[in-house]
Structure 1
Amino acid sequence: MAAEAGLTSDLVKVVALLGAGVVAVPVFRKLGLGSVLGYFGAGIVIGPFGIGLFSNPEGILHIAEFGVVMFLFVIGLEMQPSRLWGLRSSIFGLGIAQVLACGFLLTLFGMAGGLAAKVAFIAAMGFVLSSTAVVMQMLNERGETSTPQGQKAVSILLLEDLAIVPLLAIVALLSPQQGGSEQAWVSFAIAAGALGGLIAAGRWLLNPMFRVLAAAEAREVMTAAALLVVLGSALAMQLGGLSMAMGAFLAGVLLSESTFRHQLEADIEPFRGILLGLFFLAVGMSLDLAVVAREWHLVLVAVIGFMAVKALGIFIVAKLFGSDWREAITRVALFSQGGEFAFVLYAAAFAAGIFDPRITAIASGTVIISMALTPLLAIALDRFLPAPPTDLDGIEVADGLKGQALIVGFGRFGQVASQALLARGISVSIIDFDVEMIRAASQFGFKLYYGDGTRRDILHAAGAERAEVIVVCVDRRQTADAIVRLVQAEFAHAKLFVRAYDRGHALDLVHVGVEYQIRETFESAMVFGTALLKCLGVPADEAEAIEADVRRRDDERFDLQLAGDLYSGRELLRSNAPTPTPLTKPKRPGQIPANLPDDIGGES
């Protein structure tokens, strides 16, 4: 009975962990706060200082660290050695400069707050090590991992992961206990041996091993081997006194040019996502609310002071290394928190007798709160930082154009639609808001001008008052609607041809009186369906008759909806739900249902 009760208790905890993440993350993302903050909040609620479902978050945090480990392995798979070599200046230049500058400033701040020099130094260096998990998760959510700025962020994180090694050695040297110096040299020797062994295994062992396993054609064995590589490399680094995450990253880099790279990434991804979420939950659980409440004034000063001082150091280093002010501020928002390696460093300092329990609790609480604040800083950055200026180098802005037709938007649809006009020799003016599209089109002989079609002055400069027809080919419904309203109000003489997003949009456009509209995928889908019939053996004349019948039924249904039988009380130029009528079954094989469903969306 006792064993059964224990099993039930463990199952309740597992369900609570999964439930907390499943409920909190969608809510926080819906509120625009991001998944990381959702996990933190859920962890606080179910942790020992919330409703108390878990009394030992340290144990969960220890297991959940493998989420960070797997995350770094996946990042390593994307970092070919040549690419990593290309980042060497950022890793050992920018990274070292940021760690040293921030560490120096934070140490001075800690000493000014009354801490002993070595205590202030360890507290400062722990806070310098930003959270790899938080920063990488935010870069992924923002889609910036592969951008130049994202690559610099990855470089700094890699250097900070490496920095944990000498920092742990420094803790041993600063320890009031005996044998610190000797232990430091032994640690360095073991670390070097572990690093060399891992590189040798990756160079000569991993690829042959995966070739043998692939030949066995056992999928589950490949998954087990992927986990073995990640966890084995992490274990090797941990035994050598290095960062587990650094070991996993190095293993990923060594396999980045392997033919099994994509298979490994697919095998690791489910484990990575779950364990990384569990890590954030455990960090939230670890926030000692009792200490925060009792020492709230110290924690408040520490959080604000450490984040502000670190932000200053990051900004200064970024500017010294040639970043513009926008990139520097963005890096401040991403890196001004402490990270998970601070817990490792603080635990080592406590074990070495440098930290007492009170300092350890306050320092750890400061790091956790700073990690929770980072997503909020990023949200504030996106909301209040002005949009980056558009680089118009080599791009002509619309001004004084005189085309007989004005095309707004030159994506896939606009490119095809324009060809008939250009082939006939009709004068056409084309504007687009996408600078990269304009540059790409110029390589194929198209002359495009930069301009936002939702602005009256831009349309005037593009020649809208002289154009006989204005062709709206943008891919967003809201943008198309704004252009239609503006043209009808300011350039009523011009005929409007508009790309409709879907059936509901087409009805709206007819209601407001555009000369011509077409659903963006309708014609291609009709031709596609007819080709399918012919491929399946239907005679060509019958396939074409079926196509004509489908078109006729669609026109009838469209006319009914336009008359208001199905779309009564519609507001002009707004999205609408599809017709909620059920399908009727065909009365005989090959008969088309009388009320086919309306199209409810379109391609972007």
Structure 2
Amino acid sequence: MIIALLAGAVIFVPVFKRLGLGAVLGYLCAGVVLGPSFLSVSEEPEAIMEVAELGVVFLLFLIGLELNPHRLWLMRRDIFGLGALQVVVCGGLIMLYPLFVTGRSWETALVAGLGLALSSTALVMQLIEERGSMRLPYGQKTFAVLLMQDIAIVPLLVVVTLLSPGGDNMDGASVFLDLALAVGAVAAIVVIGHNLLSPMFRILARFGGTEIMTAAALLVVIAAGTAMVAVGLSMAMGAFIAGVLLAESNYRHELEADIEPFRGLLLGLFFVSVGMSLDLPLIAQNLLLVLGGVACILVAKSVAVYGLVRVFGGDHMTGVKTGLLLSQGGEFGFVLFTSAATQGVMTAEVAGLLSATVILSMVTTPFLVRYLPPLLIRARPKPEPTEDYSDAQGDVLVIGFGRYGQIVSQMLLAAGFRPILLDNDVERVTEARRFGSRVYYGDGSRLDVLRAAGAGKAALIAVCTAPKERTSAIVDLLRHEFPQARIFARAYDRRHALNLFALNVDYQRRETFDSALRFGRDALVALGKEPGDAKDAEILVRKRDRERLEYQRIEGLAEGHAKWREVTPEPYMPPIEDEVDDDEPPAPRKAAE
């Protein structure tokens, strides 16, 4: 069975990642193929899921390590406001489907609605992590809602008990006791963790080995999770709290490295087990009912979450992406439906249909997140300022005011020149003007803009644009239309430099060449070389690179690799001329490099 699970992941995950659908969908599809409906490598996928849920636990622990208590406190409005309203509003909307369409009792409909209102922490956080969106607004709001859903599982289980046939016998004291136990367990973990975790890891780091640190990390995560399970909360909640308490610890990065391998493998196994749990024969017998339920969940949760996010200050894009990420059902729904079936609130068949609905909704999420945002989020065209070039005066035209062009313009200004600065980024032009720099808005690849900006009278035109295709196009236009100007251009790499030579540029400079040489020179000094010896090494590399570039300009890019493959520092005679320190402005040359 283990071989089959690993083989399924190895086959399906790369295929789905290559298609741009992400690893999660690959794991889910691998689980469907390996499940009882096809290959049936295991008759009890639930047993696999119990172990694989540790992947979700480790994921929440790692997330907690990235969120210190101060950041978590800043999210309190989204957690307890947006998160709580999401559960209530979505639960109320979704319960209308089983209540009026399928004719279920209001108790069954309510539990179904509340269970389907919960989203999949494992699935959503994996998607957010793949996209690196945790610190973006929609990532923050999504996580806040998921955290509140983890907290809400305790009162929801109490609701199930109250709705059960014997629920009338449950008094308020029992409910209060359960809630008090949950709050007390959280407080205990906070107090113990705050006072004991850092000293414990300090002692283990001093007297233990790497494997002991790994064992201690696993112990903390599993112990905190087990304590939460004992009072009705989820293991993931306990692991998250432990992570937050260690977020400011000196051992945070080591703990991340220790837990990460377990997290990745077990989380993948969790998604495989979810796919294996999909009961295809049951879905086939109730196809329209299940598909209607999936559609109801996706629409109700997406629309409701979008509206709530806008109410809580999110923009259109944040609302759309948060709504789509939270549109599916989640693994906590399994817990709620199982409990409801056990206590007689719903039948086992209804619980199975709801679980199948949750799994199918989870399968749709990667597709929705990938393909719907471009259709729902239309970029608003940025207003283009009307530019007047009547005051554009100067002998040098600098096209492109990014990080490269800004440094070039500083050199010109420091030497007493007055450059004409041109850029086609509205925000950059506006920002530059805020800081007192007069940058003209315009597209340097348009002939009318170049003429209006004074290219016809410029003695030198510096093309500092990116990407390289744009730079080459501008250089080609300048060479044909403004032959009086010397053209200096920013090159991306060696290949682009040779392309610029072919366009008869007067001078080119690779954008990272000088900084990399200076970096290497300083590294040699740090390693114990004398500054003069380090400078000699830099001069040698410059000389050999220039010779090779000139040779390739004549013979082609593929030539010269064997001749200049290695740098041999001895014997060596430093050149008498034509070498300058890179801290000084280089003299212009036809093929300078």
* TM bracket, shorter-chain basis: 0.7 to 0.9
Instruction: Tell me whether 1:417 sits opposite 2:408 in the alignment.
Output: yes
The equivalent of 1:57 in structure 2 is 45
Partner of 2:15: 27
What is the one-letter code of the residue matched to 1:166? P
* TM-score when normalising by structure 1: 0.83
**Stretch deviating more after TM superposition (176-185 or 366-375):** 176-185
User: Residues of 1 paired with 2:439 and 2:422: CA distance?
Assistant: 6
Q: What residue in structure 2 maps to residue 5 of structure 1?
A: none
Inter-CA distance 535–319: structure 2 relative to 1 (3 Å threshold): closer
Q: Tell me if 1:222 matches 2:213.
A: yes
What displacement does 1:226 show?
1.2
| Aligned counterparts, 1:40-79, within 5 A | 40-79=28-67
Letter in 2 for 1:173: L
Q: For the residues of structure 2 that align with 1:461 and 1:389, how far apart are their CA atoms?
A: 28
Match of 1:165 among 144, 154, 163: 154
Q: How far has the Cα of 1:304 moved from its partner?
A: 0.9
* Letter paired with 1:235: T
1:97-128 deviation per Cα after TM superposition (whole angstroms, max 9, x unaligned): 22211111111222121222111111111111
- State the alpha-carbon separation in 1 of the partners of residues 425 and 48 from structure 2: 47
Question: Matches of 1:205 and 1:540 in 2, distance apart?
Answer: 49
Cα distance in 1 for partners of 2:546, 2:475 equals 23
For 1:471, what is the secondary structure of its paired residue?
A: strand
Root-mean-square deviation (CA), in Å?
Answer: 3.5
Match of 1:289 among 272, 275, 280: 280
TM-aligned CA deviation for residue 490 of structure 1 = 7.2
Larger deviation: 95-104 or 522-531? 522-531
- Name which of 81, 95, 106 aligns with 1:117: 106
Match for residue 36 of structure 1? 24
Secondary structure of the 2:37 match is coil
Structure 1 residue 176 corresponds to structure 2 residue 172? no
Q: Is 2:179 the partner of 1:191?
A: no
Looking at structure 2, the residues matched to 441 and 211 of structure 1 have their Cα atoms a distance apart, in angstroms, of: 49
Q: Which amino acid aligns with 1:296?
A: L
Say whether residues 1:427 and 2:415 are aligned partners.
no
Long gaps (5+) in structure 2: 574-593
Confirm or deny: 8 A CA contact 2:320 2:373 kept in the other structure: no
Tell me which of 114, 118, 142 is aligned to 2:131: 142
Tell me, in whole angstroms, the C-alpha distance in 1 between the residues paired with 2:90 and 2:481: 56
| 2:324 counterpart of 1:333 | yes
Cα shift readout 1:105-160 (whole Å, capped 9, x = no counterpart): 11122212122211111111111111112222222222321123322222111111
SS in 2 for 1:144: coil
Q: Is the 8 A contact 1:70 1:230 kept in 2?
A: yes
Residues 1:244 and 2:232 aligned together: no
Per mean C-alpha deviation after superposition, the further-off stretch among 333-342 and 290-299 is 290-299
Q: Which residue of 355, 358, 374 maps to 2:349?
A: 358
Partner SS for 2:417 = coil
Q: How far off is 1:444 after superposition?
A: 7.1
Structure 2 residue 248 is the aligned partner of structure 1 residue 257 = yes
Maintained 8 Å contact 2:490/2:510:
yes
Q: TM-score, normalised by structure 2?
A: 0.84
Find out whether 1:131 has 2:120 as its counterpart.
yes
Tell me which moved more, 416-425 or 316-325. 316-325
CA distance in 2 between counterparts of 1:50 and 1:491 reads 70
Residue aligning to 1:97: 85
- Percent identity reads 46
SS in 1 for 2:372: helix
For residues 488-503 of structure 1, the aligned pairs below 5 Å read 495-503=486-494
Query: What is the rounded CA distance, in whole Å, between the counterparts of 1:434 and 1:217 in structure 2?
Result: 56
1:399-428: CA deviations, max 9, x gaps? 537254343444543343332211122222
The Cα shift of 1:387 comes to: 5.4
Alpha-carbon contact 1:170-1:184 (below 8 Å) kept: no
Q: CA deviation at 1:77?
A: 2.0
Q: Deviations over 1:441-473 (max 9, x none)?
A: 678765556666567787677665665544333
Q: Which amino acid aligns with 1:39?
A: Y
**What's the offset of the Cα at 1:242?**
0.8
* Maintained 8 Å contact 1:76/1:251: yes
1:94, 1:460 → 2: CA distance?
Answer: 55
Unaligned runs of 5+ in 1: 1-12, 569-578, 593-604
